[in-house]
Structure 1
Amino acid sequence: MPLPALLLIDMQNGMADPAAGDRNNPMAEDNMAALLAAWRAADAPVVHVRHISRTPGSPFWPGQPGVEFQPRFEPLTHAHVVEKNVPDCFINTGLERWLHVRGITRLVIVGVSTNNSVESSARTAGNLGFATQVVADATFAFARRDYAGNARSADDVHAMALSNLDGEYAQVLDTAAVLAQLEEDRAKLSR
């Protein structure tokens, strides 16, 4: 059985712009970088997901600096890159087929934002039958108002999104647990 694929969602320059709003998990990028380094060291599959906006003027519009990957998450030449136009990285991208062709049945999802692209992609992954894990401390969200108009902190938004996923569509873990599991998987493959 192959190692799980790491899906690194929307780690683009536009997400690092302070204008994006108040966010949580200030160590999320460091945790993502640690996971990416571990996946690369294990020669495990990595998928870099990039949002390409359909809205002119968006920081994620083609040709804008915001659409480019943040330097520490720049894909290596052999990494798979998925470009999406909606939050869900499975919609109109060929990602599901790419995973199936390689026999990949397990996914580890990190990136931004927890309640948007991460949550929608994890829901689809779970519904498609992939054993999916979302790394709580390697994702982050932004503060926003709820439907009733109440201000919700980034921590609240993040926690609710993870709650929506855990046990239904995905297993929610932290970076340390996922790194330990990757080492166990590598040890099993080497036997």
Structure 2
Amino acid sequence: MKALLVIDMEQGFLATKRPPRNNLQAEKKIQQLLSAFRQKHESIIHIQHVSLDPSSAFYYPQGYAFMTDFSPLEDEIVFQKQVNSAFIGTDLADYLKKQKINELILVGLTLPHCVSTTARMAGNLGFRTTVISDATASYALQDVNGHWLDAETIHQCHLAALNEEFAQIMTTEQFLNYFASSNNQL
């Protein structure tokens, strides 16, 4: 069985000033995937970052509240985490095993942080993992020498690092074509 993991689609990303971001269509792509999974009555799991750090945008309820149109439906489960990985400090792995879910499709924010960390752990835990490249996004980051690395470079580097070692990488279109034509595992 498969599940869509929707990671950190929270107001805190909208409420704070951030460096430039790539993939401004990520939210639209995530909505397409949510719709497809809901239509097929496939599992959807929402991951919510509730920080323990008072200086974090995700510490206060208005920051960790879900973005408009990303609130879970009544039958969709939510796991709250305090760190980057959705598996640390949660019962996610046990839940997946009990539900016989062995295939995870990851989307959300941000790729170099919570999406990548969760994908790496999912792969290491033996889950068949797919990251949807255009249903996640990255922000520009400073390197250790204080130079800014653009968001698209960051994004592509993380996809390259995940590809075929921790996860398979697909676009929304590729995944939806597969999903529409098959109930088989990837």
Q: Tell me which interval the TM-score lies in, with the shorter structure as reference length.
A: over 0.9
After superposition, residues 2-81 of structure 1 pair within 5 angstroms as: 2=1, 4-17=2-15, 19-63=17-61, 65-81=62-78
- Give the alignment partner of residue 154 of structure 1, picking from 151, 154, 159: 151
Taking only aligned residues, the RMSD between alpha carbons, in angstroms, comes to: 1.4
Q: Residue type matched to 1:5 in 2?
A: A
Alignment partners' CA distance in 1, 2:166 and 2:22 = 23
- Give the alignment partner of residue 169 of structure 2, picking from 169, 172, 176: 172
Q: TM-score, normalised by structure 2?
A: 0.95
Q: TM-score, normalised by structure 1?
A: 0.93
Secondary structure at 1:181's aligned position in 2?
A: helix
After superposition, residues 74-89 of structure 1 pair within 5 angstroms as: 74-89=71-86
Alignment partners' CA distance in 2, 1:78 and 1:181 = 25
Q: Residue type matched to 2:108 in 1?
A: G
Secondary structure at 1:19's aligned position in 2?
A: coil
| Contact preservation (8 Å) 2:16, 2:57 | no
Alignment partners' CA distance in 1, 2:18 and 2:38 = 29
Runs of 4+ that moved beyond 3 A? none
The residue number in structure 1 matching 2:95 is 98
- Greater share of residues in helix: 1
Task: Measure how far apart 1:149 and its partner are.
Answer: 2.7
Q: Deviations over 1:116-175 (max 9, x none)?
A: 000000000000111100000000010011123321001011111111100100001100
Structure 2: segments with no counterpart, 5+ residues: none
